[in-house]
Structure formats: structure tokens, C-alpha cells
């Protein structure tokens, strides 16, 4: 199978490149093909003639998107449309990485794939609008919603917590936002399976279980035996430019129907910390 990955230099992209074997995989970073430039995308796919295109490239700085909405929409929505059009021209299937931020966070039970989108941030709106446009353009595409990504080789929450803990006796972490941490290695393996099994429609892919950012931070430091104190705070005490969903746990039912089970986030964190040590 021939595969082209856009966003190969990002956190998930690097994991996809490491984990994907047995197929002909081409990884493209922003220097190789800017997804805002449709002609650049066309040229990349015309040369590679992939059977699958995985779109992991995105402007993922949630607060940055709030301050620069024009760029956010150009990359996350319009760039996705450019990739979809180019994929269609070479008869390739498309897998698009989306986000839990397409939801408003007002539920108290896991979000199903058919629940209404109601994003509360610019980043969430860019992803929600991209989903809608892609399903109109390529109804057979696969949209993978995920959340709270972490892994080695890039900026992520555990890395930030460990850097703060190295210089402070105590740190404050939000305790009223609940979601599912997702290890990019496990996500990459699921994406590979989805492509090989010709999945379509919307699929939710996160590690199993849920926690708050505070609980996640406590587990990170406990896993490395770091004595820094973690203090729970509210979102109102820790105001950010972009609104975050209070609850964004994604139901695993769509993934189970495809016969795929994800490891618990605690197990994923343990493996991440081992990888980080090595």
C-alpha cells in the first residue's frame, strides 16, 4: 500500500513514520508541501500516487489560533480541503485528524460520533468546519477525532509538567477539565489499522479512561518519583485565551465496532515515560 503523510514532522507524524512498516510510506513536512498551497499539494500527490493520504498537519496551538484566526482557518480548514481535492484527483482515500474540541464540553457522558458539533474556540471551529467540508467533498473519507496528545519529539503536556517541576517546589494545574490523554504511539498504530482496513466515517480514537489535567499531572510526577507538589485550581483561576471544554471524553464505541481496543492512558503514560528515559 502506498501512503502519503502530511505533517510528518509533527508529534503524531513522527510516531506514524516510526510505527508504519510493510508499506510504501512518504512523509511530508511543511517544508516539503504547504497544505495552504493547493498546487504544492497536487504536485506532491501526483508524484507519489498514494492509495491513502493521512492528514496530520495542522495549526495546533489552541491559544495561538484564538489570536490568529485567519491563519488557523487557512491551515486547518482550507488546507484540509486542498488536500482532499488533491487526494480525490489521484483516487486516494483520506484520513483526517480532528479533535475533541469540536464539542462544547457540556455533556457528562462520553461524546458519540453523531453528537452535535458546537466548538467554543477558534481551533475547535476550524476542525469542525473542516470535518463538514471534507464529508461533503469525500463522503468516504475517515475522520479520526482524538484528544490530549502526548509523546516524545515535540511539545506536549507531560513534557511541560516535567520542565516546570524541575524548577518549582509546587505547580498549579486545572482540575475541572476532563478528557482522555492519548499517546501518539497508540494513536499511530490505530491510524495504521484504520487505513489497512479501509475505514470510513467518523471514528473516535483515544487511550481508554479519563482524568483531569490535575490528575494527569499527579500521575506523571508519581511515575518518575518527582516530589513537586501539584495543586488543583479551577479554569477561572487559570484563564487562557481559548475556551476549553469542561468535559471532552470521546466514546470508544466507534473504534470497538472496528475491532480495535486502545490501552488505558495510565499504561500509555508508563510507556511514554520509559521512552523518554531512553
List the beta bridge partners of residue 264: 208
- Secondary structure element (H or E) that encloses residue 258, with its range: none
The answer to whether residue 272 is catalytic is no
Pairwise CA distance, residues 41 & 19, whole Å: 24
Cβ-contact 178, 248 below 8 angstroms? yes
Cell of 233: 485550581
Residue with cell 511530508: 28
- CB burial string 117-151: b at 16+ within 10 A, e below: bebbbbbbbbbbbbbeebbeebeebbbbbbbbbbb
Give me the catalytic one of 59, 123, 247, 272.
123
Helices (H) and strands (E) in the chain, counts: 11, 12
Q: Which residues are catalytic?
A: 123
Amino acid at each position: 500500500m502506498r501512503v502519503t503523510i502530511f505533517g510528518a514532522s509533527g508529534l503524531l507524524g513522527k510516531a506514524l513514520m516510526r510505527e508504519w512498516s510493510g508499506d510504501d510510506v512518504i512523509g511530508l513536512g511543511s517544508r516539503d508541501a504547504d497544505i495552504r498551497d493547493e498546487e504544492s499539494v497536487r504536485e506532491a500527490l501526483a508524484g507519489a500516487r498514494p492509495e491513502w493520504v493521512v492528514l496530520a498537519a495542522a495549526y495546533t496551538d489552541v491559544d495561538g489560533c484564538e489570536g490568529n484566526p485567519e491563519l488557523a482557518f487557512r491551515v486547518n480548514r482550507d488546507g484540509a480541503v486542498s488536500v482532499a481535492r488533491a487526494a480525490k484527483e489521484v483516487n486516494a482515500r483520506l484520513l483526517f485528524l480532528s479533535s475533541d474540541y469540536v464539542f462544547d464540553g457540556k455533556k457528562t457522558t462520553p461524546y458519540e460520533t453523531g453528537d452535535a458539533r458546537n466548538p467554543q474556540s477558534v481551533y475547535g471551529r476550524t476542525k469542525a468546519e473542516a470535518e463538514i467540508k471534507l464529508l461533503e467533498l469525500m463522503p468516504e473519507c475517515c475522520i479520526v477525532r482524538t484528544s490530549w496528545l502526548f509523546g516524545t519529539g515535540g511539545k506536549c503536556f507531560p513534557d511541560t509538567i516535567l520542565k516546570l517541576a524541575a524548577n518549582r517546589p509546587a505547580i498549579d494545574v486545572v482540575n475541572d477539565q476532563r478528557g482522555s490523554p492519548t499517546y501518539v504511539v497508540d494513536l499511530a498504530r490505530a491510524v495504521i489499522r484504520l487505513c489497512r482496513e479501509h475505514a470510513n466515517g467518523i471514528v473516535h480514537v483515544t487511550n481508554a479512561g479519563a482524568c483531569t489535567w490535575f490528575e494527569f499531572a499527579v500521575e506523571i510526577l508519581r511515575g518518575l518519583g518527582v516530589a513537586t507538589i501539584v495543586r488543583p485550581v479551577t479554569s477561572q483561576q487559570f484563564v487562557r485565551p481559548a475556551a476549553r471544554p469542561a468535559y471532552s471524553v470521546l466514546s470508544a464505541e466507534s473504534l470497538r465496532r472496528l475491532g480495535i481496543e486502545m490501552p488505558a492512558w495510565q499504561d500509555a503514560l508508563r510507556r511514554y515515560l520509559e521512552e523518554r528515559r531512553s
